[in-house]
Amino acid sequence: MADLHIEALDMINPFVIASSPATQGARNVLKSAACRPGAIVLRNFGHGTGGGSFIYPSADAMYKGEPAFHSHAVGTQLPDPVNSLEKYCEEVKTIKKQMDKDIKLWVSLGHYSDIVKGGDWEKEWKQQARELSNAGADAFELHFNTPGVAVAKDRQFNYYQLVASCTKMIRETVKDMPIMVKLAVEACDPLTSIRHAVANGATAVGPTARWKGFHFDLDWKQTQARPGAGYGGTQATPIVCYTVSEARSKGIDIPMYAGGGVFSYEQALRLVMAGSEMVQLGTLACSGGTMACANLMRKFESWMDDHGYADMKSLTGDALKLFSMDGEVAKNRQNRLGTAYKEAQVDIKKCIGCGRCKDVCWHEGIDLADRKAFKTDQCIGCGYCFQVCPTGALKIDQKGILASSLCEESK
Ligand SMILES: Cc1cc2nc3c(=O)[nH]c(=O)nc-3n(C[C@H](O)[C@H](O)[C@H](O)COP(=O)(O)O)c2cc1C
Ligand code: SF4
Ligand code: SF4
């Protein structure tokens, strides 16, 4: 069995149940612990206990990794009974007493609305840091993710400065405590945000993608419940993967716990292979519960076994080979595919003369005669016509061509 242990933070596995309704208060943290993740982030206190996800077009599509989005803010917002630091510390103590000792408890510190409210929030955050550390938290999480932070004070603050000064302030307040800095990849340039967090003492960074979104059906019948709520979904994963891989290729070497759109083990694997040691489970934990999380973890592990990855170290960042592919290899793959498109001829038996290929060719590389298409010597091999041909009269083995070029390279 693959070893899922995360050495840098001594976690039993890379999965972090992210701050959300699934981690609201001791009761829900203890419930989430049933799937035995590496860490659970206790949600902020005193800011209401609402939150459900509006999923479109369906949860089924989302679990298959197909394009689908979710947004926050379904369900009644209830007042949070844990509304003082004292009560919040009690929650931490209860969790530490009752939860399996090998699951880490990360505790959310501060809240963007404190900044919006004004007052002496910095003093309050420092006090929180000291008392939560004494109460037994294993780490702090600072939230600089959307939708909250991105809209606080109508964006009238400098995001980088906020990340830098808050991280520094908490680092100076509790010197030895791990500080996890959760960032929004879409708020600003993500690499710059990560660099600010690292320079000011973050232990790990958690890039995650949630936007302010506005999706609506034209008849408004299935329009998301509240326009502008945190908008995420399967489309987020490639964006976060890029952020992670760019950070790794630019020398960021502290642990990462990326998140966004992870509804199946494949997406979790992608984030890890892009270079993030850990993975946040957000909406999956809320909408699929502990069983869905446990299922994902099981499949993640068996995929590693089936593909010869013995431990997390060997898996983490493995896809960076692709990201930093030698220029010649990349060119070879691109050319090989282009040549195949260029050389492939129309299968006359399958051609129905619909003309879609000609319509989409911007180079006069294909024409029609007697209701049959034929290639001309103007074809540059861009591949557009192959994508629109409805009958397979234009077809190449794209997967095979790309795979064979890589196999040759690794010989
Ligand atoms: C209903 C809901 C409420 C959330 N509330 C918070 C929150 O209070 N603080 C926070 O930092 N992140 C919050 N998140 C974001 C998650 O912690 C996590 O970063 C994100 O959901 C990961 O993306 P995913 O949902 O696509 O997995 C929330 C997510 C959901 C689904
Ligand atoms: S591959 Fe591109 S250039 Fe060649 S025929 Fe098709 S659309 Fe035209
Ligand atoms: S799109 Fe395909 S079927 Fe239609 S004319 Fe072109 S080659 Fe023939």
Let me know whether 243 and 381 are in one domain.
no
Report the C-alpha gap between 27 and 381 in whole angstroms.
59
Distance separating alpha carbons of residues 9 and 299, to the nearest angstrom: 23
User: Which of 101-110, 150-159, 189-198, 271-280 has the least mean pLDDT?
Assistant: 150-159
Q: Are residue 308 and residue 331 in the same domain, yes or no? A: no
Q: Is residue 123 part of a domain?
A: yes
403 and 363, same domain (yes or no):
yes
pTM of the model: 0.92
Nearest residue CA, atom 8 of ligand 3? 351
- In angstroms and rounded to an integer, the radius of gyration of the C-alpha atoms of the chain is 25
Instruction: Please state the domain count of the chain.
Output: 2
Range of weakest confidence among 53-57, 247-251, 320-324, 356-360: 320-324
* Res 113 pLDDT > 90: no
163 shares a domain with 268: yes
Q: Which ligand number lies closest to the CA of residue 365?
A: 2
Confidence label for 153 from pLDDT (cuts 50, 70 and 90): low
Same domain, 185 and 332: no
What is the position in ligand 3's atom list of the atom closest to the CA of 388?
A: 1
Do the domain assignments include residue 263?
A: yes
Structural domain boundaries enclosing 352: 326-410
Q: How many CB atoms lie within 10 A of CB 5?
A: 15
Residue 71 lies in a domain: yes
Q: What is the pLDDT of residue 351?
A: 98
- Nearest residue to 277 (alpha-carbon basis) of 52, 58, 3, 13: 13
Q: Are residues 349 and 309 in the same domain?
A: no
CATH number at residue 232: 3.20.20.70
| 186 CA from centroid of ligand 1 (Å) | 15
Q: Are residues 38 and 54 both part of a single domain?
A: yes
Show Cβ contacts of residue 305 under 8 Å, excluding neighbours closer than 6 positions.
Answer: 1, 2
pLDDT for res 87: 98
For residue 258, count other CB atoms closer than 10 A to its CB: 31
Residue 225: pLDDT above 90?
A: no
- 411 close to 347: Cβ distance less than 8 angstroms: no
Residue closest via CA to ligand 2's atom 7 equals: 361
Contact 187, 146 (CB under 8 A): yes
Long-range contacts at 397-406 (CB < 8 A, ≥ 24 apart): 397/340, 398/337, 398/340, 401/336, 401/337, 401/340, 402/333, 402/336, 402/337, 405/329, 405/332, 405/333, 405/336, 406/333
Contact 12, 4 (CB under 8 A): yes
* Domain termination site, one of 287, 322, 357: 322
Of 238-247, 259-268, 284-293, 397-406, the range with the lowest mean pLDDT is 397-406
Residue 302 and residue 337 share a domain? no
243 C-alpha to center of ligand 3: Å? 39
Nearest residue (by CA) to ligand 2, atom 4, is 379
Which of 361, 374, 375, 377 for mutating ligand 2's site (highest number of atoms within 8 Å of CB)? 361
* Same structural domain, 37 and 135: yes
1 found inside a domain: no
> Is 2 a domain residue?
no
Pocket of ligand 2 (CB under 6 A): 341, 360-361, 363, 365-366, 379-385
Q: Higher confidence at residue 323 or residue 32?
A: 32
Do 79 and 175 have their domain in common? yes
Q: Judge whether 224 lies within some domain.
A: yes
- 29 assigned to some structural domain: yes
CATH classification at residue 379: 3.30.70.20
Pocket, ligand 3, Cβ cutoff 6 A: 346, 351-357, 373, 388-389, 391, 393-394
Q: Are residues 307 and 340 in the same domain?
A: no
- 84 versus 149: which is more confidently predicted? 84
Based on the fold, state whether residues 129 and 146 are members of the same structural domain: yes
25 C-alpha vs ligand 1 centroid, how far in Å?
15
Whether residue 145 lies inside any domain: the answer is yes
* Last residue of one domain, picked from the residues 282, 307, 322: 322
> Which atom of ligand 1 is least distant from the CA of 143?
11
Q: Which residues line ligand 1 (CB under 6 A)?
A: 18-21, 43-44, 51, 53, 72, 143, 145, 182, 208, 232, 236, 259-262, 280-284, 286
Of the chain, the percentage scoring pLDDT greater than 90 comes to 73
Identify the domain boundary among 322, 351, 377. Answer: 322
- Report the residue among 16, 19, 28, 77 best suited for mutation to probe ligand 1: largest number of ligand atoms under 8 A from its CB: 19
